[in-house]
Chains A and B, each alone.
Chain A
């Protein structure tokens, strides 16, 4: 099942609705990387609230998405990791290092807003 990607001002929001196959994840990656360039987005939010399991491939892909998008000049936030999922991931040794995370969509947007303000203030 393809993941809808919504454009909201200077952000892209991808809300994962159901469990994804590995191909779905890779096409999400391709689509996000393309659209960041196309819409000149400054931030990307991937919402995983609906997922009750995140396996190692999914976590690695999420991490890759965040790294690739940083190279494309935007910031990625993963939002909505469930408490049980979070602990299961950590026990498997998956910690999404250096990838920002936030509680939910609202927090994610707040994080990006703050981050961009900082970036603007510095330039």
Chain B
């Protein structure tokens, strides 16, 4: 019986239907009056708002002049959105604004804070103007508040979306800095790891390495982690697992370039490094690998000339 399974929706519907009947005729007129009021008092309300922003000590990343300039355009956009009831222009503007201020370190709470401040400043000016007529004040607020809430919402969502877009872009950029698996000699691969390793990158790394071992028929792999600043237990365990998985494919792994900090962390968190073959630096690792593979590097009798260096006559 679908009619009475959800009484809530029925009630909600009747409220929604009732709402416009009461105010359709006057709402547009009221809103127009409201916009007119905001236009008239543009200068003082804007100054009041800028003053409140400075007082609240938000937007510390921007100078007062900048705040005032931004406040002016936010104010105009705000009033325009109230007037037209369309939010596309405001959306575009808030996205633009976010693009400009996010790189300067403006936080989400600051942006939401200043929009709510503006909402508050305008509401107060309405209180002052209509304080004698409570009925009219109520109607004005009925017209003002839903629109103001939507504006606050639009700006906040625009800001957060812009932020998320930047984060997504950066994640992709990091992923594209994929770690190359390089062959330096027949059956010898090196895998230099630079930067932060998160679980996802660690998994991708292992996959690439194991594929590389198979494709290049590698017998020894040197993993160089000189460029890794820190390592947690998760990543360390992943490294150990990678070493073991490589062994199952018949390759020996040599880990080089463990920094003193990482070495201490690994011992402190108790990662079992017994199975790991470690050498101090990349050069030592490659030499050890060459030894394992039976290579021997000897300087030739007549060294080749290095291009670009001319010998003195």
A83–B249 CB distance below 8 A: yes
A107–B241 CB distance below 8 A: no
- Contact A79-B241, Cβ < 8 Å, known A86-B210, A87-B206: no
B213 within 8 A of A: yes
CB of B180 to closest CB in A, whole Å:
17
B244–A81 CB distance below 8 A: no
How many residues from A make CB contacts under 8 Å with B?
Answer: 20
- Contact A83-B214, Cβ < 8 Å, known A89-B245, A91-B241, A95-B244: yes
How many interface residues does chain B have, given as a range?
Answer: 10 to 19
Give the A-B contact count at a CB cut-off of 8 A.
55
CB of B39 to closest CB in A, whole Å:
66
* A contact residues around B241 at 8 Å (CB): 87, 90-91
Nearest A residue to B275 via CB reads A95
Complex interface residues of chain B between 246 and 304 (CB less than 8 A to chain A): 246-251, 275
A29 within 8 A of B: no
Q: In terms of DSSP, what is the predominant structure of the interface of chain A?
A: helix
A20 within 8 A of B: no
A116 within 8 A of B: no
CB of B257 to closest CB in A, whole Å:
23
Complex interface residues of chain B between 190 and 225 (CB less than 8 A to chain A): 206-207, 210-211, 213-214, 217, 219
Complex Cα gap A31–B59 (Å)? 78
CB of A13 to closest CB in B, whole Å:
16
Nearest B residue to A91 via CB reads B241
CB of A55 to closest CB in B, whole Å:
15
* B contact residues around A108 at 8 Å (CB): 250
Could you say which of A3-11, A33-41, A68-76, A96-104 contacts chain B? A96-104
Complex Cα gap A107–B217 (Å)? 9
Complex interface residues of chain A between 89 and 123 (CB less than 8 A to chain B): 89-91, 95-96, 101-104, 107-108, 111
CB of B251 to closest CB in A, whole Å:
7
* B contact residues around A95 at 8 Å (CB): 244, 247-248, 275
Nearest B residue to A107 via CB reads B250
Complex Cα gap A104–B249 (Å)? 8
- The listed residue (B206, B207, B210, B248) touching A101 by CB distance below 8 A is B248
* B contact residues around A101 at 8 Å (CB): 247-250
A83–B213 CB distance below 8 A: yes
What 15 additional pairs, Cβ within 8 angstroms, besides A83-B249, A90-B244, A111-B250? Answer: A78-B248, A79-B250, A83-B207, A86-B249, A89-B245, A91-B241, A96-B248, A101-B248, A103-B213, A103-B219, A103-B249, A103-B251, A104-B217, A107-B219, A108-B250
